[in-house]
Amino acid sequence: MAESNHNGRVDEEALLKMEEAKRKKRMKWTIGIIAFVIFQVVQALFFVLVIMKFKSPKFRISNFDISNSNFNQSSPSFNMNFVAPIRVKNTNWGPFKYDASSVDFTYGGFKVGQAIILKGKANFKSTKKIDVNVTLSSTNLTGNSNLRSDLSTELMNLTSQGELRGKVTVMFMFKKRKISQMNCTMAINTSAKVVYALSCK
């Protein structure tokens, strides 16, 4: 009789251990499924909030000094040499690789110079600094009546326009083509030889 009771207790303990093992296994599976669901939700949110919101990097020119220039009012003409500080600000969570391009400088609708932009890359959440030598000349402005007037008032208005085409890559796999455009206006004081009112859209 005692042996029968002992065997009964052993069987009961074995069943309890089996139930405990099954419970722990179910718990592990449940935790695993919850963790997987949370991971998928986070991944989906990341995709919606980050991947799907690629932004076009900002393509701008910063203030610069006119190192060498010549303004002639009697026979209206000008020549300017300076280093153009061009900046590509990339706010995306991935690098922006862009193709070679150029920035045109215009006066009164006429092209007076150009800056060449070599192929390059702006890293994620950073600003790429590109400094290029530029020469502006009034050679193409023959007969422009505004130049004499502007030189007499010692104030010339210039524009700089350009376009960068490239791709933003996030997580090494998600890529999207983006176009960055520059459209800046500036005023040159021909007497002080400085740049005023530089504004970019």
Domain residue spans of the chain = 1-53, 58-200
Higher pLDDT: 143 or 176? It is 176
Strand partners, 194: 189
Decide if pLDDT at 63 tops 70: yes
Rounded to whole angstroms, the Cα distance separating 112 from 161 reads 12
For residue 146, the model assigns a pLDDT of 86
Q: Can you read off the two tokens belonging to residue 196?
A: 């005023």
Mean pLDDT of 75-89: 93
What is the overall mean pLDDT for the chain?
87
What's the CATH number of domain 58-200, 2.60.40, 1.10.1200, 3.30.70, 3.30.200? 2.60.40
For residue 143, the model assigns a pLDDT of 65
Nearest CA to 76 among 157, 135, 136, 142? 142
Distances 128 to 86, 134, 153 between C-alpha atoms, Å:
8, 18, 36
For residue 6, the model assigns a pLDDT of 55
Query: pLDDT, tens digit, for every residue of 161-170?
Result: 999 999 998 8
Higher pLDDT: 46 or 94? It is 94
